[in-house]
Amino acid sequence: MLKVTPVDDDESDEEADALVLWAGDGAVRLLRRDARRRAILVERARPGSDLAGVDEEDATAIAVDVATRLWRPAAAPFRWIGDHVPRWLDNAARRGAPLAPRARSLYDGLKVGRETLVHGDFHHHNLLADGARYLAIDPKPMLGEPEFDVYSYLVNPLGSRMRRDVTEERLAAFAAAGLDDGRMRAWALIRGAYLSSKPQHLEVLRALL
C-alpha cells in the first residue's frame, strides 16, 4: 500500500519511524520510504476489514491487545505531546469549545509522560484484519503516555452513538491491562475538548469526571 502524506499533515511526520520501531508487532510493516516525497510503502493487511465490524466485547479485547504491543519506550525523533496539546487547547478555547476550560484545568494538573510511543489516532477504523491478527495503520506517533491514546477508541466507530455504559466497559478493559483509570478519563476530556463538537460526545465526556 502506497501512502503519500500531505505537507500540512505534520502529525504523520514520524509515521515511518514508528513503523520501523514496531517492526510488524501490532502494526503494518514499512517496506520502503521516500522522505523527500513524503511517501511510504507499507504492508497490506488482508482481508483488511476494520474493527468496526466486530462485536463490542471482542473488538475491545483486540484493541487492548494491539495497543499494548504498540506502547513501548521511545525517544527522538518523535515529538512530545506536551509541546502540542497546550496549543490545541488554546485553539479550542478561542473557538469557544464547551469543554476547553475544564480541559485546561485538568491538563495543567497533569505531569505528562514523555517516554512512551503512542499511536495518536487509535480507533476501530485504524485496526485492520490481517489473517487471524489485527494490525494498526495510519499512526500519528508522538511521545506521551498510553492513557492519551484511549480517547479515539472511546468515540468510535463512525456512525455509532457514544454511550456511557459502553464507554465505562471500554475504560475498564484498558484499566485491566494496566492503564490508570483517572488519567484515561482526564485525557478523554482533554482530547475531546479540541477534537469533538458532537453533543453526545460532550455529554458522555463530562460524565466521566
- Give the cell for residue 53: 465490524
Cβ–Cβ < 8 Å for 170, 154: yes
Q: State the Cα–Cα distance between residues 117 and 182, nearest whole angstrom.
A: 20
Average pLDDT over residues 74-92: 97
Q: What is the pLDDT, as a whole number, of residue 79?
A: 97
Average pLDDT over residues 144-155: 98
Q: Which amino acid is residue 33, in one-letter code?
A: R
Q: State the Cα–Cα distance between residues 112 and 33, nearest whole angstrom.
A: 31
Please check the confidence at residue 141 and state whether its pLDDT lies above 90: yes
pLDDT digits (tens, 9 = 90+) for 105-122: 999 999 999 999 999 999
Strand partners, 118: 142
The domain locations on the chain are: 2-207
CATH architecture of 2-207: Alpha-Beta Complex (3.90)
| Residue among 42, 174, 151 at smallest CA distance from 103 | 151
Give me the count of residues in the chain: 209
Cβ–Cβ < 8 Å for 103, 193: yes
Helix pair 85-94, 100-108: axis angle to 10 deg:
160
Cβ–Cβ < 8 Å for 152, 123: yes
pLDDT digits (tens, 9 = 90+) for 14-35: 999 999 999 999 999 999 999 9
pLDDT digits (tens, 9 = 90+) for 158-182: 999 999 999 999 999 999 999 999 9
Q: Which amino acid is residue 140, in one-letter code?
A: K
102 phi, psi to nearest 5 deg: -65, -40
Q: What is the pLDDT, as a whole number, of residue 9?
A: 84
Catalytic residue ranges: 121
